[in-house]
Amino acid sequence: MAEVLEKLPQGCDHTIDILNRLPTEVFSDICHDVLFFLQFKIPAIDVETLKERFEENSVHIEDKDLQSILHILKYIYRSASKLKVHHNSLKKQLLSSLKFTEETSENIACNWKEYGDALKSDHSFPMFDVGKLIDMQWKLGVAVSSDDCRNLNSTFVAMNLKVADTSGKLTSHAFEMTIPQFKNLSKQLQEMAKSMEMV
């Protein structure tokens, strides 16, 4: 198999078949978003907007299939970056796999040529998928009473973290901390900031 696709996970044929049938413009938008996501130009891939584009083009796609398409494209572009592959070579490698159509291969390669410059010059981005912290909000509160205690008067910090997973789906995580826990978190964040200034 071609170098870029050398470690492509087994069982991707179904996803590649779906990918090959997508309208050219919609597929180009997906490639564009994936490249911008890998370059940290956008915090997450807007899956909801992509779904709207599918509906506009009368395309039905399952969420799990869309996630698989995004994972395959991330893999291809990361591999192309790591191997410093020219767009013509990328197209040839995709075609030689006999999995991707001429049109799909052309689309992937054209987006690589147009938007992949930052990845071509530096592939020091993480080679694994992790979520990104998009927003963090906190507020101070006082618990006045509870079922067990009439005069509780206990202070707490309510935290709300908004995280984008690798597919672009935003999730909110809400939790409460005691004041000592919050002070400990604040101290650790300050230590991290100081360490980063030294680098």
Residue 123 confidence (pLDDT)? 47
Same domain for 114 and 25? yes
**149 shares its domain with 186:** yes
Domain count, the chain: 2
Alpha helices in 39-172 (DSSP H): 47-56, 63-82, 87-96, 102-115, 117-121
Residue 107 pLDDT: 93
| Structural domain ending residue among the three candidates 81, 100, 121 | 121
Contacts of 196 (CB under 8 A, 6+ apart): none
Is residue 113 located within the same domain as residue 140? no
Question: Residue 168 is part of which domain span?
Answer: 132-198
The pLDDT value given to residue 199: 46
Query: Do residue 17 and residue 55 come from a single domain?
Result: yes
Q: What values do phi and psi take at 185, rounded to 5?
A: -60, -45
pLDDT score for 146: 65
Q: How many CB atoms lie within 10 A of CB 34?
A: 26
Q: 193 and 149 share a domain?
A: yes
Q: Does 6 fall in a domain?
A: no
Q: Pick out the chain residues at pLDDT < 70.
A: 1-2, 9, 120-130, 145-147, 149-151, 166-168, 196-199
* 39 and 87 within one domain: yes
- State residue 112's pLDDT score: 92
Same-domain status, 104 and 143: no
Q: Where does a domain end: 76, 92, 121?
A: 121
19 and 110 fall within a common domain: yes
In this prediction, residue 198 carries a pLDDT of 54
